[in-house]
Chains A and B, each alone.
Chain A
């Protein structure tokens, strides 16, 4: 039981490049979400999903796309990377919308 797995752990992109951050969970959780953490700050919600086929925007969605085709996977796509997207990205999952959330180990992204 691996929990929430994020790949890659580190990534460097050039401005304008696109990429996908992967997130997978093996706990059969319905709810998944993506957060970003900037230096000295708490986490902020980017996008979330309440089940396969259902996604919605969080606090800071601009520049990111998501889809949820399976219960297990919730990839985050950067369409055209910008230096302002340099951050640490965390994926989380929970069994219901108000039960304990579990986080992946994070992806540290640098856009140059």
Chain B
């Protein structure tokens, strides 16, 4: 099956700093999503981005499907950005998602 690797596993930032999270996957995908799991455990949809580039406020994401990676950019980080960021990928037409292990982000005031 498809393998998903996220890096770095942990990240500590000062408020206002920028960061880049990476997601590598081992095979072709037709579904790629980024999620933020907040400290209360909720999974928040950030981006649905099987290819291309999208931006939403301070967050943006780029997926280069031919090279099998995706990047999530967080600019001017805030303490509310803290939590775990997951990349999840899918292929075929089953709705199944394979999750990476996540990147735990801590933003200090």
The interface of chain A, by Cβ under 8 A from chain B, is: 31-33, 35, 40-45, 48, 50, 56, 58, 88, 90, 92, 94, 96-103, 105-106, 108
Contacts and interface: CB of A to CB of B under 8 A. Distances in A.
Contacts, number: 74
A33 B95 contact: yes
B96 A100 contact: no
Nearest to A108: B41
Q: Which 6 A-B pairs have the closest CB atoms?
A: A31-B95, A42-B99, A97-B93, A100-B48, A103-B43, A98-B30
Given A42-B102, A43-B97, A99-B31, 6 more contacts: A41-B101, A43-B99, A45-B97, A97-B90, A97-B95, A101-B88
Contacts of B42: 105-106
B63 interface: no
A45 B96 CA distance: 7
Q: How large is the interface on B (under 10, 10 to 19, 20 to 34, 35 or more residues)?
A: 20 to 34
B46 to A, nearest CB: 11
Contact of A96 (B33, B43, B93): B93
Contacts of A96: 93, 95
Nearest to A9: B41
A105 B44 CA distance: 10
Contact of B90 (A44, A90, A98): A98
Contacts of B33: 100-101
